[in-house]
Amino acid sequence: MGDPSNLRFVPSSCASIPIDWTKRGTFKKRPLPATIDDLAKMFHETKFFGYLTSELCTLLLDISEFGLAELPRLTENRLPVGPRFYMKYLSQIWFVLFVPGSRRGITGYSPDLPDRYAEDLDEDAEEDLYDEDAEIALQKALAEDFDVKLCEEVSQGGAGVLAFKKVAGWQSSTLKSSLQFAQMAEVIMELPTDHPAYVGMMQNWLRNR
């Protein structure tokens, strides 16, 4: 279940922010990402947004609370915006926004992207006109444009913005709610395939594909 997510944008202002892993114990299996940029690249071409397991949600929450140093207040009326990164998953651009020192991070996604591949297909041509590089550039530009609006809204509204179902016009939810949903889904997946809860969840998943 889940499709690959592809990295599209990490703002330069937070790309080099270090991640402290010491509070999560000792890891021996692989080198750990040292910065937000390294973390985002690690998720590139993986089933990230398509398969937010409870373990992954917990990891993101732990990074937010224990791995990132709290940011200083900008001014009395403007708050700092936490590190974040953007990825394409299916027909949307998704983001993760951390709130250093707390477990109040959020995820969110854009409206559906136009299906330019379908628009550019030419049945009479030997090759279709789809340009993957141009498509990636458009998706990156969309993320960059949204990031400006996100920073403005979060900076002005602070923590209160994170409770909204929409942030700067994109759908959003808290990392905590993502964890709760993942835990519920994992329990349901253990049920018999003819159980109403299992059937209902799979039908809902297929509708949203």
| Model pLDDT, residue 188 | 62
C-alpha–C-alpha distance, residues 134 and 33, integer Å? 29
Is residue 1 assigned to a domain? no
Is residue 193 assigned to a domain? no
C-alpha–C-alpha distance, residues 81 and 84, integer Å? 9
Contacting residues for 23 by C-beta, under 8 A, at least 6 apart = 62, 66, 67
CA distances to 10, 16, 96, 127, 188 from 151, rounded to whole Å, are 13, 18, 13, 41, 37
Q: Tell me if 84 sits within 8 A of 100, measured CB to CB.
A: no
Is residue 207 assigned to a domain? no
C-alpha–C-alpha distance, residues 158 and 101, integer Å? 14
Question: Strands 84-89, 92-97: parallel, antiparallel or unpaired by DSSP?
Answer: antiparallel
C-alpha–C-alpha distance, residues 16 and 10, integer Å? 10
In 3D space, the residue among 54, 34, 50, 25 whose CA is nearest the CA of residue 183 turns out to be 54
| Model pLDDT, residue 126 | 53
Which residues are 6's β-sheet partners?
A: 88
- The list of the chain residues with pLDDT below 70 reads 1-2, 25-30, 74-77, 116-130, 158-160, 181, 185-191, 197-209
Which three-class secondary structure state does DSSP give residue 45?
coil
| Model pLDDT, residue 31 | 82
| Model pLDDT, residue 87 | 96
Q: Tell me if 77 sits within 8 A of 108, measured CB to CB.
A: no
pTM: 0.82
Owning domain of residue 49: 6-179
What is the number of alpha carbons within 13 Å of residue 189 lying toward its C-beta? 9
Q: Tell me if 74 sits within 8 A of 28, measured CB to CB.
A: no
- Number of domains forming the structure of the chain: 1
Alpha helices, DSSP H only, in 63-131?
116-120
Contacting residues for 49 by C-beta, under 8 A, at least 6 apart = 2, 5, 87, 89, 94, 107, 109
Is residue 186 assigned to a domain? no
Is residue 197 assigned to a domain? no
Is residue 202 assigned to a domain? no
Q: Residue 137: enclosing H or E segment and its boundaries?
A: helix 132-157
Is residue 198 assigned to a domain? no
Is residue 188 assigned to a domain? no
